[in-house]
Structure 1
Amino acid sequence: MGEQKKKRDLIALSSVPLVMTLGNSMLIPVLPEIERELKISSFQVSLIITVYSIVAILLIPVAGYLSDRFGRKIVMVPCLIIAGLGGAVAGWAAWKVQSPFYLILAGRVLQGIGSAGAAPVVIPLIGDMFENNKEVSSGLGLIETANTGGKVLSPIIGAALALFIWFLPFWFIPFFSFISVLLVFFLVKIPKTEKKSQSIKEFVICLRDILKEEGRWLYSIFAIGCLIMFVLFGVLFFLSDILEKIYKIDGVYKGLLLAIPLLALSISSFIAGKKIGDHKKVMKIAIVAGMGLLAISFVALRIQHNLLFLLTFLIFSGIGIGTSLPCLDALITEGVEKEERGTITSFYSSMRFIGVAAGPPAYAFIMNQSEHLVYYVSMGASVIAMFIGLLFIKPTDENEESKETKGKILKMT
């Protein structure tokens, strides 16, 4: 595969997590306006985000299994189309229907179904496309950069679109889903691999055996991924709230400030993906160090948290998270055989979605108790993630492996 072809493939695949992230996160700054326009309660408007996440959490493992059995692209492209249709349903309902709330929810369910089979399939697909682990790590770093880039742009784009028409962010989803479909369909060439012919019963038995044999490090990566997303989205919710309530900053200006720590996360993800190569012990060190930096940031914020101090140390927390994510992706992708890669990485993606869904409501409850408690909980979750990585992830670099260790699950002890 030529260098230019690899770059085109990665750029095309990077559009998938970017579109999926934009399609969800950019609605967050618009939710208060949606609530006013539809004359619904805060709980009802929160369902616009929640139903999307719940559907995705439930269906991501199914999409992983289907991608292992039938192929990554054959699952990803139709799911991108479904996600676009979901956005169109929600946008049309908001535009043309007098009481559109339940149709908007139906559109969000469709979008969740599409997202479940699109973005999470990208991680195992990167592993399929590149035999060289350094290229896999670099590619995953770019994917995490695109994912985080979507989070950086989301609040800015959502707030800017809503300045024209409140439901315009819904129509953004089918527009960019269509672009992503074209990029993936025409540019990404999937290497030919033998498709699995397992029955569901055989699949369940195989999955049980994998988790029984290698569950220790797999569960550790699942847990760290969940904790990272829990802290990230919880803190973003907290930051959004205090910028408006304490510092009286809202609209596009608030979106720009929310983007600052996410930009640090995005840049550090890209650099980490380039630098870690195939050195799995370095990946472990980066995960532990990243979670340590995250914990230290919240210790500092507990001591002092004026606006400048807050944004400065949230930049450090973004660096910690950005350093860790490509390493988690690389360990789980390079550590699993191609035949089970989609299924195992889909469970990892589901755990990350659980963190995304749980963070904002949990932090909303914590904030009602005490602002200081936000820093304690964030620090505690970071420390737990750091010790999980330190104690339970025990990688073996490829040049230290013996032939006997290469089975269904590779490169980990």
Structure 2
Amino acid sequence: MIDKQTSDIQNKKLITFSLAIVPLAMVLGNSMLIPELPNLAEVLGVSNFEIGLLITFFSLSGGLSIPILGYLSDKYNRKRILIYSLLIYGTGGIIAGLLALLNNPQIYSYILFARIIQGFGAGGTYPLAIALAGDIFNPQNRKQILGILEAANAFGKVVSPFLGALIALFFWPGLFFIYAILTLPLAIIIYYFIPEPQPSTIKINFKDYLIQITTIITDKGSSFILYLATSIVVLFILFGVLSFVSETLSTVYNIYGLTKAGLIAIPIIAMVITAYLMGLYLKRNNPQLNYLLSSGLLLDAISLLTLPFLDGLILYLVLIACVGIANGIVLTVLNTIITSSSSESYRGGLTSIYSSMRFLGIALGPPVFTLLNQISTFTMFAIPALIAMILSLFAFFI
């Protein structure tokens, strides 16, 4: 452990603060853009489906990069791979921002490419920050640090809609430049102030690493596949609903700016509070996790099936808050299951798979919801609700 090198309290605080900014920066990658997607579509002269691809391509790239960057961090140097990831993330933001300054509708496809670059870097941020915290701090301090990182992640989810709306009020290309403003100085701070972990002794090549991951999934069986499917579906639902709500608040209720950001934050705040309370409940009790998982998915399904029949902003906001509560239950249970159902030697592989699936769910949400909405609003909500209900039944009978 490198904890001996961090005995100085001020140094520990600096390390903790630096690592905590990493998940905050990652969350901004998508959540900050959600309130502004309709405005960006108008400015760039593209459809709602096309503007949703700014979320999709970023998340797909991030999901694909997680196992690659995770492997490289194990084989070479976790700190350096984290720094490179932050630099890539920030560079993608600079490219997208400079392209946005051209204010040319034809530039959309190039901004999309810049988002792919960003996503690749984002995949190596939060997962590697968690792993680096595990390298640096001893077991006694590690739980506290990981709790701080998770709190930073939650804080980012809450403030990102407001930050996105505030930046767009003054300078919409700043939505992309902000990533570099955060990540590039952070990379420098980590380089100078985060201690180097012990050199890795891993000798496995990438092909064998992929085979090992496949073996993990096979060994864990159908229950683990259910957990992965559930992680995809709940993030798919959350970001699909958020993108639809963003459009609806603008086109139906004529709500914009910070007010709109505050309303979009409702399901996210509900999810964060629920996750925190669920964490306390699980710490003090020993419930059947599959029943909780099933209940959360069922609440998701009921909320989605009710949404198309509502005609009033207050009831609408209550129901999307229920979606946030449902996802808070499900994700907390999934986090517990994934991190506690494997030995330490397999935990890194399992968490990287799990993180990739979450990115995939985020990627699918906005474009699929947009396509389904072209059929009908009921179809857009009913199909995800049906999938959630099926998963709920499977979870109940595991």
Q: TM over 0.5: same fold?
A: yes
Q: CA deviation at 1:342?
A: 3.0
Q: Within 2, Cα distance between the matches of 1:41 and 1:296?
A: 30
2:76, 2:200 within 8 Å by CA — same for their partners in 1? no
Q: Secondary structure at the match of 1:117?
A: coil
Q: CA deviation at 1:147?
A: 3.3
Q: CA deviation at 1:160?
A: 1.6
Mark the CA change 1:188 to 1:362 in structure 2 (over 3 Å): closer, same or farther. Answer: same
Which one-letter code corresponds to 1:104 in the other structure?
Answer: I
2:70, 2:124 within 8 Å by CA — same for their partners in 1? yes
More divergent stretch after superposition (53-62 vs 75-84): 53-62
Identical-pair percentage: 33
> Does 1:297 find its partner at 2:299?
no
1:145, 1:266 within 8 Å by CA — same for their partners in 2? no
Q: 2:229 is matched with which residue?
A: 223
Residue correspondence of structure 1 range 269-348 to structure 2 within 5 A: 269-277=275-283, 281=287, 283-301=289-307, 304-348=310-354
Mark the CA change 1:100 to 1:269 in structure 2 (over 3 Å): closer, same or farther. Answer: same
Q: 1:398 is matched with which residue?
A: none
Q: Within 2, Cα distance between the matches of 1:268 and 1:50?
A: 26
> Does 1:111 find its partner at 2:125?
no
Q: CA deviation at 1:92?
A: 2.4
Mark the CA change 1:142 to 1:250 in structure 2 (over 3 Å): closer, same or farther. Answer: same
2:84 to 66, 78, 81: 78
> Does 1:203 find its partner at 2:225?
no
Q: 1:364 is matched with which residue?
A: 370
Q: Within 2, Cα distance between the matches of 1:126 and 1:280?
A: 27
2:293, 2:329 within 8 Å by CA — same for their partners in 1? yes
More divergent stretch after superposition (182-191 vs 163-172): 182-191
Query: What do residues 368-400 of structure 1 show as CA deviations (whole Å, max 9, x unaligned)?
Result: 3332334423432332332343334xxxxxxxx
Q: Within 1, Cα distance between the matches of 2:336 and 2:138?
A: 13
Mark the CA change 1:109 to 1:272 in structure 2 (over 3 Å): closer, same or farther. Answer: same
Mark the CA change 1:68 to 1:240 in structure 2 (over 3 Å): closer, same or farther. Answer: same
Q: Secondary structure at the match of 2:254?
A: coil
Q: Within 1, Cα distance between the matches of 2:397 and 2:145?
A: 27
User: Structure 1 length normalisation: TM-score?
Assistant: 0.81
Q: Within 2, Cα distance between the matches of 1:22 and 1:213?
A: 35
Which one-letter code corresponds to 1:306 in the other structure?
Answer: G
> Does 1:90 find its partner at 2:96?
yes
Query: What do residues 117-137 of structure 1 show as CA deviations (whole Å, max 9, x unaligned)?
Result: 11233455566677869975x
Gaps (5+ residues) in structure 2?
none
Q: Within 1, Cα distance between the matches of 2:334 and 2:13?
A: 22
1:367, 1:374 within 8 Å by CA — same for their partners in 2? yes
Q: CA deviation at 1:226?
A: 0.3
Q: CA deviation at 1:242?
A: 2.0
More divergent stretch after superposition (206-215 vs 120-129): 120-129
More divergent stretch after superposition (112-121 vs 6-15): 6-15
2:58 to 24, 32, 52: 52
Q: Within 2, Cα distance between the matches of 1:248 and 1:203?
A: 51
Which one-letter code corresponds to 1:167 in the other structure?
Answer: P
Q: Within 2, Cα distance between the matches of 1:347 and 1:259?
A: 28
Q: 1:402 is matched with which residue?
A: none
User: Structure 2 length normalisation: TM-score?
Assistant: 0.83
Q: Within 1, Cα distance between the matches of 2:249 and 2:387?
A: 23
Q: CA deviation at 1:8?
A: 6.6
Q: CA deviation at 1:105?
A: 3.3
Gaps (5+ residues) in structure 1?
393-413
Q: Secondary structure at the match of 2:66?
A: helix
2:35, 2:161 within 8 Å by CA — same for their partners in 1? yes
Number of paired residues?
391
> Does 1:66 find its partner at 2:67?
no
1:152, 1:258 within 8 Å by CA — same for their partners in 2? no
Q: Within 2, Cα distance between the matches of 1:201 and 1:211?
A: 16
Q: Within 1, Cα distance between the matches of 2:385 and 2:49?
A: 28
Q: CA deviation at 1:113?
A: 1.5
Mark the CA change 1:358 to 1:44 in structure 2 (over 3 Å): closer, same or farther. Answer: closer
Query: What do residues 248-268 of structure 1 show as CA deviations (whole Å, max 9, x unaligned)?
Result: 212222111101111111122
> Does 1:259 find its partner at 2:265?
yes
1:21 to 19, 24, 27: 27
